[in-house]
Chain A
Amino acid sequence: MPRSDFRRDRDESRMRLSAQTSSVGRMSSQPAIEAEDLVKHFGDTHAVDGVSFTVPEGSVLGMLGPNGAGKTTTVRMMTTLTKPTSGTARVAGHDVVKEPAAVRSSMGLTGQAATVDELLTGRENIRLIGSLYGLPSAYIRSYGDELLERFSLTEAADRTAKTYSGGMRRRLDLAVSLVATPPVLFLDEPTTGLDPRSRVELWDVLRGLVKDGTTLLLTTQYLEEADQLADRIVVIDHGKVIAEGTPLELKEQSGKAALVVTVSHADQLQTAAGLMRDLVDEIHVDESARQITAPAEGLRDVHRVATAFESSEIVLDDLGLKRPSLDDVFLHLTGHRAEPTTEEEATA
């Protein structure tokens, strides 16, 4: 779509909104989402055991953790679905226990399973939720059509959601959550079960929402997802926050970058290892991958090693600097991997 249209749309929306800007301006002094020492016990199980975080308006918090870490329970407390055993939480300035109605009016929730109604069409799903919000039906009709178009569901709008693919259901779920344009959105594992392409598409949609000021809290088991979308990440395990920071800070916490050299022929691996030993303090040789890994300070080390290999007989497949992934971060913090194993994913 032409850029000018887009800008005009935005300008019009701004004008519509001008009456509200003052209240929005006041809001920005406080975080959009706040949790203070949230605790939830189910009998003897400490599902959430003292979780605190804040999410400034217009930013994205990624809540990262394995299955059963307490992510969903935290989201359920934040969205008034379950009461905290202790601790407080505020959404758009409203206390989740004392003002649940105000919280529900200021946020949207997309649950772990796409909770669209399978027997309703896409349009009917939007109409149902819109009417429960008490929005005028003319508004629901026009804005619903707009949402369906934005999420590429116009053609499927009058088909029952049963016939939708996983990606389409998620998009419809999100469209439904957006019908009342909530300033805060909770997404509980929004891309679980999606194929990689649908996942990337959904990420784009979410980025678009954030660009326009929506505050997001998303839980995920996928490190890449948190890395891609989140401004800040809280890592949660066994109901506790075990680390917090920007994706970069977390990566730096778990160690330096590594220099990775992959030789082309296995019989040159030892020669290459010998050469590297002279250049760096410490190396690690992985014979099956024909790889030598060494801690590196930065590009200077890469250059030094590359020059040495250039003047040798050794043929290389690859030489480069590898920054720790969030997966490494998670392993470093918890001693176990965050990503579900393939079997877990298949049964989920």
Chain B
Amino acid sequence: MTDVDISKAATAAVGRPEIRNTGLLRQSLSIAKRNLIHIKRMPEMLMDVTIQPIMFVLLFAYVFGASIDTDSPAGYREWLMGGIMGQTIAFASFIVAVGLTADLDKGIVDRMRSLPINPAAVLVGRSMSSLLHSSIGIVVMSVTGLFIGWRIRGSFLDALLAYALLLMWGFAMIWVGILVGSAMRSVEAVNALMFATMFPITFLANTFAPTDPMPTWLRVVAEWNPISSLVQAVRELWGNSPAAPDSAALPLQHPVLATLIWTVVITAIVAPLALRAFGRRTAT
């Protein structure tokens, strides 16, 4: 079987097919498709958007549920859902970073860059598959939520807007992922860094506990945490929480607008840094 047929191989260079530039979208889709085949081959890659958030939902709902007081009409479980969704979509950065570092590390990115394709296709393809990956998490959690009594109590359009905000947030997080993925040299380093930063950042907010009982300084930090705006917006749009009290920080008073501003600001700051880090990483 290992006998290589030389005479046949010799004809390889004779015919030259026409190379066509199919454009960024098709090229990105090819790469995204490849990333999705990875998920198909290793379904355990989806644990971070399936088992883990379900576990969080159940743990928080049943362990803390009894002792945390919220002003949600249907109690803590319903209030919790917006928080968990916010955290899961923030972890989209994690998914991008891990995938990108692995590809950089294994030389896959270099191989792609040596092809006559738009150089952005590697990043766009990675972003597409990561957003889909995170979206699976949002769907899984919505279903889990329905089982434990979570309901959308707002209008259909508001509910849709909430999901759209989550996706937008995921888009901003992709840049964080590209930055971290380009800067870190191994998947282990990405894991360590992301655990050490994304976990505290997503907890130091209104995700799992209301902010008003917090000490003042902590409350200010938590309420200005961009993720709190997203979570508050999603909760309000789903009718899971009344509007933030007057004492809350400014972003929570206008959570939808604040979320839009935060995503634009985060993207504007992180995207150039991410592209520079990626450029530097691949240029050496």
Interface positions, chain B 175-198, Cβ under 8 Å from A, are: none
Q: Which residues in B have their C-beta under 8 angstroms from that of A112?
A: 107
Q: Within 8 Å of chain B (Cβ to Cβ): is A201?
A: yes
Q: Which of B37-45, B127-135, B213-221, B246-254 contacts A (4 or more CB under 8 A)?
A: B37-45
Question: What is the size, in residues, of chain A's interface with B at 8 Å between Cβ atoms?
Answer: 70
Q: For residue B17, which residues in chain A have a CB less than 8 angstroms away from its CB? A: 133, 135-136, 139, 143, 180-181
Q: Is B148 an interface residue (CB 8 A)?
A: no
Contact between chains at B19 and A183 (CB < 8 Å):
no
Q: A53 within 8 Å of B by Cβ?
A: no
- A315 adjacent to chain B (CB < 8 Å): no
Whether B7 pairs with A209 at a CB distance below 8 angstroms is no
A119 to chain B, nearest CB (A): 5
Kindly supply a per-residue 1/0 record for chain A positions 42-84, scoring 1 wherever the CB is within 8 Å of any chain B CB and 0 otherwise.
1000000000000000000000000000000000100111110
State A197–B2 Cα separation when bound (angstroms). 10
Chain A residues near B114: list those with CB within 8 A.
79-81, 104, 107-109
Report the Cα distance A53→B253, complex, angstroms.
Answer: 67
B12 near A181: Cβ-Cβ < 8 Å: yes
A214 in the interface (beta carbon within 8 A): yes
Contacts A80-B114, A132-B27, A183-B16; A149 near B8 (Cβ below 8 A)? yes
Residues from chain B with a CB closer than 8 A to the CB of A107 are 114
Does A16 reach chain B (CB closer than 8 Å)? yes
Residues facing A in B1-37 (CB within 8 A) are 1-22, 26-27, 30-31, 33-34, 37
Say yes or no for A309: interface residue by CB 8 A criterion: no
Q: Chain B residues near A115 (CB, 8 Å)?
A: 106-108, 110-111
Task: Indicate whether B63 reaches chain A with its CB closer than 8 angstroms.
Answer: no
Q: Please tell me if A198 contacts chain B, counting CB pairs below 8 Å.
A: yes
What 19 additional pairs, Cβ within 8 angstroms, besides A181-B15, A183-B13?
A1-B8, A80-B113, A104-B116, A104-B117, A115-B106, A115-B110, A120-B37, A132-B27, A133-B17, A149-B8, A150-B4, A152-B3, A171-B4, A181-B14, A183-B16, A207-B6, A208-B7, A209-B12, A214-B12
9 A–B pairs (Cβ distance < 8 Å), ordered by A: A80-B114, A82-B283, A105-B116, A128-B31, A128-B34, A132-B31, A136-B17, A180-B17, A181-B17
